[in-house]
Amino acid sequence: MDVTPASPEPVPLPEPKRLGALARLAPEPMKVVLNWGRRYSLWVFNFGLACCAIEFIAASMARHDFIRLGVIPFAPGPRQADLMVVSGTVTDKMAPAVKRLYEQMPEPKYVISFGACSNCGGPYWDSYSVTKGVDQIIPVDVYVPGCPPRPEALLQGILKLQEKIARESLAERYGSTQPSAAALQSGLVQPPPAPAAAGESR
């Protein structure tokens, strides 16, 4: 009796990850094109708070010239910026301003914490007025250590961020959950309480 082996069942391939809401309009290679354009056109909003800001300025000058990496320094404001570089000591008094300006940046946005003071408070970590790292108030993508950090370290941090952007999936970043209205509110400026009605007792 001739017995022919049964053909194996076809294994379904996993659904490729798309671009969130634009999946029906954009083909899959668009993710590569968008990430390529995003990684080489980073407008920087420099938040220089202390001496590390001098090292950031040195990285943007002719000797190191991070413009050759596709990084454009000194964006006109947070609404035109893609990348915030926090360089220097973040104090508790300055922390609300850092958070407010970060929230004004359009998505997708990235943060580099530049120097020991921005990373963890640095030599002032035990001060009553110093925030123990900028990641206490905003999310950080790349940490650049050093006190003071060298401009070459910032260049390495930018390259690491560009590698992260190249691997980024917009579907994972934006397509999984929709932010609630409460999550989109700053929380820094609260509306005044509603006045009590005329007939209510206090």
Band of residue 197 on the pLDDT scale cut at 50, 70, 90: low
pLDDT the model gives residue 174: 59
Q: Decide if pLDDT at 129 tops 60.
A: yes
Q: What is the DSSP letter of 192?
A: P
Tokens, residue 92: 């508790």
pLDDT the model gives residue 175: 58
> Rg for the chain (alpha carbons), in Å?
23
Read off the pLDDT of each residue in 43-62 and give the average, rounded to a whole number: 81
pLDDT the model gives residue 128: 87
- Give me the architecture of the 27-173 domain, per CATH: 3-Layer(aba) Sandwich (3.40)
CB 150 within 8 Å of CB 110: no
Listed by start position, the domains of the chain span 27-173
47 vs 83, which has greater pLDDT? 83
Pairing, β 71-72 against β 83-87: unpaired
* DSSP of 2-67: --PPPPPPPPPPPPPP--GGGTTTS-TTHHHHHHHHHHT-EEEEEEE-STHHHHHHHHHSTTT-GG
- Nearest CA among 103, 112, 102 for reference residue 140: 112
Q: Decide if pLDDT at 133 tops 60.
A: yes
pLDDT the model gives residue 151: 84
Q: Does 120 appear as a known binding residue?
A: no
108 vs 73, which has greater pLDDT? 108
